[in-house]
Amino acid sequence: MVHILEARDVSKHFGGIGALEDVSFKIRKGAIISIIGPNGAGKTTLFNCLTGIARPDRGAIYFMENEISKLPAHRVTELGIARTFQNIRLFPEMTVIENVMVAQHLRVRYGLLSAIAHNRTFRKKEKDIIEKAFEYVGFVGLENFARTPACNLSYGSQRRLEIARALATEPGLLLLDEPTAGMNAIETMEVMDLIAQIRELGKTIVLIEHDMKLVMGISEWIIVLDHGVKIAEGTAEEVRNDPLVIDAYLGKEAVQ
């Protein structure tokens, strides 16, 4: 079995308070994984450590067998890990297509002279960026809003744009932090379908999510955190019936 990501005894503290304590797990390449747990369980802190936004105090993180624990966020993205955020972080005054083009520039290289002179090499690469950006915008269903400022999109569409921008960095591993937060049932189902389509592109997907219907319906493996500690992991059926998970998060009514 090929593992794209591995966390080994990852710990992170803030002012003496433990946000993560010796968290270990492996993520299989091509899988859809969910990380669940109550508020304050350490889920977003874990995402921050995986993406270079925060550095673990102890332990190690490996992506494609290379340690990334001490790398800055931009290097982690260059290696092939992208994420969205719980709170939407778009460039609000830029159009949909411009938001995605920004991410595409990560994978494009041309010299300073080409950029200054706007020569044929520069124009060719910019043309490629625009075409690829339109592909990602279309993939998430926003082709009719390509020239619309991001701030004018509906909440659900902004979530889709964030996913398109993350995909435009061409990651192998995509981390989605509460992708359906604030959405109605129909929008949530549409995001579930989109996640399945992303996996068909060959991506590995890890999501933090509170919607248990989505989690249980789409996840091949689930990791459960509580107060910074991994208390369980397994299939949806195993996690649903784990006494520790029921007591800490799901509640008895969720499994009846």
First CA to last CA across the chain, in angstroms? 34
- Strand-pair category, 3-14 with 17-28: antiparallel
**Cα angle value 136/88/169 (rounded, 5°):** 35
Is-contact 36 86, C-beta < 8 A? no
pLDDT of residue 23: 97
CB 77 within 8 A of CB 102: no
Strand 229-234 to strand 58-63: parallel, antiparallel, or no bridges (unpaired)? Answer: unpaired
| pLDDT per position as a tens digit, 145-170 | 999 999 999 999 999 999 999 999 99
- Count other C-beta atoms under 10 Å from residue 193's C-beta: 12
pLDDT tens, position by position, 188-216: 889 999 999 999 999 999 999 988 889 99
Cβ–Cβ under 8 Å, residues 92 and 150: yes
**What is the structure's pLDDT at 251?**
63
Q: What is the mean pLDDT of each run of 10 residues along the chain (256 residues)?
A: 91 92 96 94 96 96 95 94 92 94 71 55 75 94 96 94 95 95 88 94 95 91 96 94 85 47
List of long-range contacts for 152-155, beta carbons under 8 Å, 24+ apart: 153/96, 155/182, 155/183
Strand-pair category, 58-63 with 66-67:
antiparallel
Q: What is the pLDDT of residues 7-27, one digit of tens each?
A: 999 999 998 889 999 999 999
Residue 186, both tokens: 């129909």
Residue-range domains of the chain with CATH: 1-70+209-256 (3.40.50.300)
